[in-house]
Each structure stands twice: as C-alpha cells, then as structure tokens.
Amino acid sequence: MAVRFPLYVKSLYESAERVPQPQAQAIDVVVRSRLDGAMASPFTADSPLASSVMASPNLDERCAPVELIVLHYTGMPEEDAALARLCDAEAKVSSHYVVRENGEVVQLVAEEKRAWHAGVSCWRGASDINSRSIGIEIVNPGHDGDCPPYPDPQIAAVIALCRDILARNGIRRDQVLAHSDIAPTRKQDPGEWFPWGRLAAEGVGLWVEPAPLDDTSGAEADAGEAAAFIGALAGYGYGITPADPPEVKAAVVAAFQRHFRPARGDGKVDRSSIETLRRLLAARQALVVGA
C-alpha cells in the first residue's frame, strides 16, 4: 500500500484554512517538520481495512507480546490536527490506528512496533501497556467538546478493525479496553457515551446488562461491601489496592462505571455497581472456560 503523505499534507493545509490563525500556524509547523525529515519509514498496512498509511516517527520496539486493544478518543476539535499531533516527533505521542468520523481507517504505526498511546498505565498487574497493546484513536472532541455521539460509520469501522486485530493476534474479546480503564486517575476516554454494548454485540469487548439504578440499588454500599468491591475490581484487572487513598479508589470506581454502568459515574460504590461487576466477572469466567 502506498503511503499517501502528499494527500495528508494537502488535507492539513485545507484544514488550516478553516481554523483560526494560531491553530493554522501550528498545523503549518507540524507539516513543515514532517517534510524536513521527521517522517518515519513507510510500511505496509497490517489491516486490509486501513485505507492509508501515514507513518508516525513516535514508536520503538515492543518489550512484551500484544494482548490488549486500547480505545481512545482524540479529544481535539479538528481531526486533521489530531492526526498531525500523532505524527509530530515533538509531541511524542502516537497510536497504531486512527478512525476518522466517516469511518476511514488510517494506520500510523506498524503493529509489530510499540506506539506511544497508553502513558502511565496498568492492567492486571502489568505496566508498560504500550508494549502489550494496539492503540486505536477514534476521532471525537471528547469531554472538552461537549461529548458528541460517535457516528454510525465510525463505530462500524471501529468494530471491523477490532475484529480484524483480535483475529490476527489471537486476542480474547474481553481484552478490548478503554484508555480510562488502564489509566483511571488520568483519563476519561473514550467516554461514558461510547457504545460498548454495540461493540460487544459484534464480538468486540465484554459487556453485560448493567444492573438497574434506582433509590435502592443506587444507595451507597457499606464499608464491607465497598472493600469487597475494590478487591473484585482488582480481580477484573483494574490497578487498585485496599491501601490506595480514597481519591484513587473513587477514580477507579468511576472508570468502571463509565465503561460498564454509564448511567452514573460518580465514583461511589453502590449496589448497582456491585451487581454489574458480579455479572461481568461471571461473563468473563464463562468466556475463559469456553475458550
């Protein structure tokens, strides 16, 4: 597959014409830095679903086998500016794939390489999630952009891409995670409005029907129930211990709620969250046994 860098530059300059001057100047700087030698070596797309390759220089060698897919939102108002940042050597961030709003899939880093998307993170006791994962950035302005819904063509493309990656890399479906799952004190993406249930219906990620949230089930749990819930979260994979301070525990609980019980993500342990996690653990056990 040819690297379509000239078209990328053209699209960036077209984008720059539509944005305020300071942002346009920033795009110009990124494009010029790419043209002056920051462009990484071109490679062949790993997925047949990638319509183009825009090689990012922000990568290195993996230190562990791939076992996860991590989903992000770009969190920027302009999708071409987000692509520019992921390909800017000075930004020191990247992902393996970007999925545009129209469903176009762009690959930035070869899957055999370690992209820089996870940051300080942890899952099931392991750090260096960059080495262990394939990162997918989904174009969406995120919480700072009023949380717009993800377009149907974009979600369909995310599902297809994840299915392809899962199949080629032998990754179990429950190992598709949110950025906020692995970095709950720092990140909120892809957000509580991300349609995890739709993905799970297509074999991507694990999802159970959240327990109802009402006056009874939404009541805060007692200390013993809360402690057991924290232990169960750690058992599922979240980076949390009984010794963590209250603010860390609340951030991890909120991350779980944002992904699996999105009706309310206040970080408080309630009986609805407890029951939802119980269902989730049972579903994963059934998945493991049936594998």
- Residues 6 or more apart whose Cβ sits within 8 Å of residue 233: 240, 252, 253, 256, 277
CA distances from 286 to 133, 199, 206, 236 (A): 24, 19, 11, 14
d(Cα 128, Cα 143) in Å, to the nearest integer?
Answer: 26
CA distances from 90 to 20, 39, 58, 86 (A): 22, 12, 9, 10
d(Cα 177, Cα 72) in Å, to the nearest integer?
Answer: 9
Alpha helices in 34-147, H assignment, sequence order: 79-86, 129-132
Contact assessment for residue 266 and residue 203, using Cβ atoms and an 8 Å cutoff? no
Phi and psi angles of residue 80, each rounded to the nearest 5 degrees, phi first:
-70, -35
d(Cα 24, Cα 287) in Å, to the nearest integer?
Answer: 49
Catalytic residue list: 137
Count Cβ atoms within 10 A of the Cβ of residue 138 and give its class: 0-12 exposed, 13-18 middle, 19 or more buried. Answer: buried
- Number of neighbours of residue 61 by Cβ within 10 angstroms: 8
For residues 36-55, one letter each, b for 16 or more C-beta atoms within 10 angstroms of the residue's C-beta and e for the rest, the string is eebbbeebebbbebbbbbbb
Structure tokens at 160: 């297809």
